[in-house]
Structure 1
Amino acid sequence: MDNRTIVEHNSQNTLSNIWLNIQKQWAQHWDALTFLIIVTAKVLYYGKEISPEYFNPIALQGPVVASILPIVAIGYLFKNNGRKNFFYTVNIIISLILFADTLYYRYFKDVISMGAIKDSFLLKSVSSSVLALIKSKDILYFLDIILLIPLMKIMKNIERKEFKFRLRFMVFIFIFSLGVGFNGKYIYKLSKEQPLLIKTMSNKLYLTKVLGNINFHAIDSYNYITNKISRSKKVPEARIEEVQSFLKEKGETKGINFAGEAEGKNLIVIQVEALQSFVVNKKINGEEITPNLNKWINKSMYFDNFFYQVAGGNTSDAEFMVNNSLYPAASGAAYYQYSGNTLNSLPKALKEKGYNTAAFHGYIEGFWNRNVMYNTEGFDNFHGEHSFELNDRVGLGLSDESFFNQSFEKIKELKEPFYSFMVTLSSHFPYEDAEGYGSFNVGEYENTLLGDYLRGIHYTDKQLGMFLDKIEKDGLADDSIILIYGDHSAIPKEYAEELYKFEGATNPTDLDWYQYQKVPMLIHFPKDEHKSVNNTYSGQMDVYPTLANLFNLPNKYMLGQDILNSTEDRVIFRNGSFTNGEIFYVSWSNQYYDIASGNVISETEELKKIKQKVLQELEYSDDILDYDLIKTYENKTQ
């Protein structure tokens, strides 16, 4: 045999040995490898189902595999037969979760969260039409489970080496560490790109698109459990009584001005996306930015020193404060963290007086956990995206024009008296829908974020004006209180220079920034009564107490104040900043400003006491929410 023949023979033997070794390793680990491949394929398939336009299998594959590896690692703690059964069982469970999430997405355009599962309200509306949501292709989630049965029988006859627990544990540690390490990298990257997303769980769908379904449910479960644990700690009885005394003292302030004036009237509240005061009564090239809002301000009671007070929950925080008069969560979103709490909400209080209550928002029902929280707050109905005909899109979703037109018809069907709570959408950051917004000459601000915003808010103002004109023409305004306010900032601080230029501010300070964070708030009375300007420094926390006075509702468990009967100007922000109308304390710089002069002033003992009271009030609000104290107080009175 020559050398060439020997080399070829050795090569064949080497290849044969490699192939035999591959077969041997496959036989040894076939269950783990099969599980990894099949589940990865299913999760990627689900990713395509919920995001066909932006599905990127290459980008999603990494976090999906990383999320499955810890499960694979757990399987190696079992002996061969137990591992096979473990993977088969977990495969069935994951398949059922993906199937349920798929049906839920088709109805709500969202992903099932722990809060959603806890609240039976979520699945009531789906259960009646679940068969209509199922498609023949859904069999792909379960087809492998059937096909694996003969494979499992075949593989049962193939001998596998049974490793000792020590070796299996080492394999567990290695694979688990690998999965957690890579997964941590993907989660950390997302937390840097969108710092509040993972804490607030505001956009569950986006989180799932980026990290995969398994990661979403792991993060969701972690947040839910940690929130439960933090709130399970027993509160000292003395603290419970201290908070209750504070609430009672605030509730004893009874309004004299306008007391019960709106009793029995309908209430229409409109929260306008990213509406800020700096656009009110302003023109560009001789054209008003918000002509309709300006018109209604002149025939309403207008509050020109009204601030948004939102925190990590952004839009949802504004809704939460207006309907509950409790401060936002210290971190994350109250709509997500406290959806299982007992709340003394505005819709609940009005329902007790015979009102029909309904919330309207033309976006995904599960966004900001609204479909859970609206039920908790006592709304009879929530008209979300699936309740509307999606016949026109501007910005993120259903256009404000279509939203107002369709909502008007739904409102007309409500039995009076009613409370309708409406949240607009089209003027949402980043204001990029130039075609949808239509023509509005923003002049020198063309191709800037501010210019895009001005065009977007001009569009929304037009739709708001047409809706209000309909309400007025229909005669509904004659027997309704209409309240309109902005929810949060329009211009992020990174674009502050554009805002300062628009306002003509030179050498702006932190005080200037805060002063530009005002949002419009108006209350329109029938027949344009009480039209005036109220200069009281106030905020979103004060809306419910003010309405409680007007509608003669109990003033319980509220931390805001009735603006129409307040004895002091007062706005407290979640970060500890505050103002009393004369001084403004900015927490991030620990500086006090004199509002009249704009100068920094030194801290006095009196100012220090005010700051301590502010922090104490925020702590009381946290206690009320963290320990569900309203439920405790309500149980005591029963």
Structure 2
Amino acid sequence: MSSNIKNTRRFINTKFGFFVLTILLFWLKTYISYRMDFTLGAKGGIQEFLLAINPIPAALLIFGIALYFRGKLAYWLMLIINFIESIWLFANIVYYREFSDFLSFGVIKGSGNVQNNLGKSLAEIIHPLDFIVFADIIILIILLLFKVIKVDHCPFKKKNAFAVTILSIVLIFAEFGIANANRSGLLTRTFDNNYIVKYLGLNEYAAFNGYQTYKESKTRSEAKPSDMNDVLKYLKNNRSSPNMEYFGKAKGKNVFILHLESFQQFLMNYKVDGKEVTPNLNKFYNNKSTLSFDNFYHQVSQGKTSDAEMMLENSLFGLPQGSAMVSYGSQNTYQAAPAILAQNGYSTAAFHGDVPSFWNRDNTYKSWGYQYFFDSDYYTEKPSYSVGYGLKDKIFLKDSAKYIQQLPQPFYAKLITLTNHYPYELDKQNQSFPATKTGDDTVDPYVQTAHYLDQAFGEFVNYLNKTGLMKNSMIVLYGDHYGISNNHRPAIAQLLHKKNINSYDLAQFQKVPFMIHMNGLKGGINHTYGGEIDVLPTLLHLLGYKDNNTIQFGNDLLSKHRNQVVAFRNGDLVSPKYTVVGGNIYNTKTGSIINPSTNQKKEIKSMQDHVTNELSLSDRVVLGDLLRFYKPKGFNTVDKKDFNYKYSAAMKQLKEANQKKHSDLLNKLHTNDTENLYKTDAPELK
């Protein structure tokens, strides 16, 4: 035993021994993080084996660089490399905790556009134990400083260092070969970063993501007009015709889009301690003049809210990594809802109680053709008026009335709420609902901010009724993305009143509300399966525009003959028959797992191919900026120079438009102001 210890110490006191020790400690902390901090879903012996060994090949390659150097420099290089690797691991642990995904270069690149209030969110997400990923570095430094481990000044032979490099490359290719045999098309068919990390590792994921980012930047420069042919062929075969029972029913109506931040479908009719979380929204949801969709899913990825807006306004998917609005909002050509409607006589405006640069909105909205963007510069701001990511919803919606009343009608107005945003903070004076008692500090206040949003919505509806806008408008509500990520499984199980939940339950948990209300509209609960990609064609058909020319990947939710396969951004899918998620196939109606027959496999493969094709073609449109090559009949390309969102310019434009049209609310009611009709119980305004 004593001789073994001496031999081990003697080995560690060599440069190669220190290298092996560093690799082992790095492997250990990475593997522990795989198990403790990520939900990678390794199943079966091969996946478990790859998960266990995948940190090693890349570590041998990267740490092996230090073996080419002499003396102390080699040791310091190993520690510096370890430190950089640990920062990458730490950052992914923190990011994954809230977003159930890994950091991408797109997210890092766009962080400057979404940094407002992120410090507060990070403080909520970071746990003290996260810093343990740096413990091995500290230990190694202490051992070196106190000479428990001595620096080996003998040169390590270059041929041996080269042998380590070759070994690492061989292992990387072997690892990929085994992974690809277990998961065919790992890097070509999957859109899920969890698979890449599970099979190949965090370092390989970073390398692949870097390649993807490079490929994305190169795609635009190499794109050509003929690239549109596949897109047009796909749309010709997949576009659904309108339901004539609803076509044009909202023709000439104002359109209000209420963007419900982080709002999930399970909240509808949900009760805590016998009390409805959202009584106003429930009333709206169950109204006979409201079309309510109970199988409507968010389809966002890392772009979260920006992805939802991308789909809503353009019927184009967000990107698998990063945010399309951040990366491509300024430079790309779009055929978006604001531009389509503005070219058909509508005024178009977006309302948002935060800084205009958040998600690059101030540039993207110009590309989409928004005539007005009422951002935080247009609102009165006081410390008590804001929480989390901007103005509190009650104050935001009330203050928006001063601009709504001036919009020439008909108008298309999108209002983005904010209070129901992570970390779900609300001051005591605005808390009027009990938190849930799951024991999860992130989840429990969620119903409180959702209830506050519901109260704000109720006040807004009262204003619409008092001013008569309700009679002449189509009100659209949608949840942009999940509020509670999949990393809160125990809490989710309690919320859903289940003992345990599986991948099927989590897929169904991705439902968000989608409601369309209009006086006289034949409403009811619609069970069709759809997602955010389908909103634009649905609204255009209701407004009386067939619009078979602009590029839209979605289908009218009211069409009688539509494909009901809903694509998730990671390549999973849900349909009335099958739910395919995490490599498993479920019966959508029962939630039971299926071992598919030969015919079922063919049917599911057809659905999977459709999803892959749909996502890939949408990505080609965005990454290649293909719409710059396509001039649809009846649509004029947007010129961003036509728009100025500065306060003085916008107010001048509103005044001139109303002098010309006399169609704004103030003119119609023959009054100077309607703000007195807006009643709120917001304590900050008393």
Coarse TM-score class (shorter-chain normalised): 0.5 to 0.7
Partner of 1:204: 112
Quick check: 1:297 aligned with 2:289? no
Distance 1:185 1:597, change over 3 A: closer
Alignment of 1:397-476 (within 5 A): 397-435=390-428, 437-442=430-435, 444-445=437-438, 448-476=441-469
Q: Deviations over 1:576-616 (max 9, x none)?
A: 11122111111xx2111101222221341221122112101
Distance 1:419 1:206, change over 3 A: closer
Q: Secondary structure of the residue that 1:565 maps to in structure 2?
A: coil
Q: Distance in 2 between matches of 1:489 and 1:210?
A: 18
Q: Distance in 2 between matches of 1:393 and 1:614?
A: 40
Size of the aligned set, in residue pairs, is 450
Cα deviation, residue 179, structure 1: 11
Q: Deviations over 1:520-566 (max 9, x none)?
A: 11100125x32311011111111101011111221421111101114
Cα deviation, residue 426, structure 1: 0.6
Partner of 1:193: 94
Amino acid paired to 1:572: A
Distance 1:338 1:483, change over 3 A: same
Cα deviation, residue 265, structure 1: 0.7
Of the three residues 243, 254, 259, the one matched with 1:266 is: 254
Partner of 1:628: 625
Amino acid paired to 1:281: N
Partner of 1:343: 334
Of the three residues 552, 559, 565, the one matched with 1:565 is: 559
Partner of 1:358: 349
Q: Secondary structure of the residue that 1:301 maps to in structure 2?
A: strand
Partner of 2:300: 310
After the TM superposition, which of the residue ranges 243-252 and 258-267 deviates more from structure 2?
243-252
Of the three residues 467, 470, 490, the one matched with 1:497 is: 490
Quick check: 1:513 aligned with 2:513? no
Amino acid paired to 2:481: H
Partner of 1:228: 217
Partner of 1:90: none
Quick check: 1:608 aligned with 2:605? yes
Partner of 2:478: 485
Quick check: 1:524 aligned with 2:517? yes
Q: Is the 8 A contact 1:360 1:422 kept in 2?
A: yes
Q: Is the 8 A contact 2:260 2:477 kept in 1?
A: yes
Distance 1:494 1:190, change over 3 A: closer
Q: Is the 8 A contact 1:437 1:456 kept in 2?
A: no
Q: Is the 8 A contact 1:202 1:313 kept in 2?
A: no
Cα deviation, residue 257, structure 1: 2.8
Cα deviation, residue 208, structure 1: 10
Amino acid paired to 1:301: L
Cα deviation, residue 262, structure 1: 1.0
Distance 1:274 1:633, change over 3 A: same
- Structure 2: gaps of 5 or more residues: 1-77, 96-101, 120-210, 637-686
Q: Distance in 2 between matches of 1:256 and 1:635?
A: 24
Q: Secondary structure of the residue that 1:563 maps to in structure 2?
A: coil
Q: Secondary structure of the residue that 1:634 maps to in structure 2?
A: coil
Distance 1:397 1:636, change over 3 A: closer
Distance 1:356 1:180, change over 3 A: farther
Distance 1:561 1:417, change over 3 A: same
Q: Distance in 2 between matches of 1:462 and 1:536?
A: 29
Q: Distance in 2 between matches of 1:298 and 1:209?
A: 36
Partner of 2:533: 541
Q: Distance in 1 between matches of 2:332 and 2:468?
A: 38
Q: Secondary structure of the residue that 1:498 maps to in structure 2?
A: helix
Q: Distance in 2 between matches of 1:258 and 1:229?
A: 43
Quick check: 1:582 aligned with 2:577? yes
Q: Secondary structure of the residue that 2:350 maps to in structure 1?
A: strand
Amino acid paired to 2:94: E
Q: Distance in 2 between matches of 1:280 and 1:179?
A: 51
Q: Deviations over 1:90-138 (max 9, x none)?
A: xxxxxxxxxxxxxxxxxxxxxxxxxxxxxxxxxxxxxxxxxxxxxxxxx
Of the three residues 325, 348, 367, the one matched with 2:315 is: 325
Q: Distance in 2 between matches of 1:312 and 1:366?
A: 18
Q: Secondary structure of the residue that 2:499 maps to in structure 1?
A: coil
Q: Is the 8 A contact 2:530 2:565 kept in 1?
A: yes
Q: Distance in 2 between matches of 1:631 and 1:504?
A: 50
Q: Distance in 2 between matches of 1:636 and 1:614?
A: 28
Q: Distance in 1 between matches of 2:116 and 2:249?
A: 48
Cα deviation, residue 191, structure 1: 5.3
Of the three residues 601, 612, 617, the one matched with 2:614 is: 617
Distance 1:288 1:580, change over 3 A: same
Cα deviation, residue 249, structure 1: 3.4
- Structure 1: gaps of 5 or more residues: 1-176, 212-221
Q: Distance in 2 between matches of 1:433 and 1:618?
A: 38
Distance 1:490 1:443, change over 3 A: closer
Structural RMSD (CA): 3.1
Cα deviation, residue 435, structure 1: 2.2
Cα deviation, residue 333, structure 1: 0.7
Q: Deviations over 1:235-285 (max 9, x none)?
A: 583x43122221233446344231111111100001111111111112222
Q: Distance in 2 between matches of 1:427 and 1:209?
A: 14
Q: Deviations over 1:438-460 (max 9, x none)?
A: 12123634773322001110111
Q: Distance in 1 between matches of 2:580 and 2:342?
A: 39
Of the three residues 354, 357, 372, the one matched with 2:363 is: 372
Amino acid paired to 1:607: I
Of the three residues 276, 282, 287, the one matched with 1:288 is: 276
Structure 1 segments of 4+ aligned residues over 4 angstroms from their partners: 177-192, 205-211, 222-227, 635-638
* Larger proportion of helix: 1
Q: Is the 8 A contact 2:493 2:499 kept in 1?
A: yes
After the TM superposition, which of the residue ranges 437-446 and 407-416 deviates more from structure 2?
437-446
Distance 1:308 1:209, change over 3 A: closer
Cα deviation, residue 432, structure 1: 2.8
Q: Deviations over 1:313-365 (max 9, x none)?
A: 00111111000111111211111122121111111110110111000110121
Cα deviation, residue 395, structure 1: 3.0
Distance 1:613 1:452, change over 3 A: same
Cα deviation, residue 478, structure 1: 0.5
The TM-score with structure 2 as length reference comes to 0.61
Q: Distance in 2 between matches of 1:285 and 1:232?
A: 58
Q: Is the 8 A contact 2:285 2:292 kept in 1?
A: yes
Distance 1:635 1:502, change over 3 A: closer
The TM-score with structure 1 as length reference comes to 0.66
- Percent of paired sites with the same residue: 33
Q: Is the 8 A contact 2:425 2:445 kept in 1?
A: yes
Q: Is the 8 A contact 2:223 2:626 kept in 1?
A: no
Q: Is the 8 A contact 2:436 2:445 kept in 1?
A: no
Partner of 1:389: 380
Distance 1:336 1:226, change over 3 A: farther
Q: Deviations over 1:161-200 (max 9, x none)?
A: xxxxxxxxxxxxxxxx999998888677545533447523
Q: Secondary structure of the residue that 2:258 maps to in structure 1?
A: strand
Q: Is the 8 A contact 2:240 2:559 kept in 1?
A: no
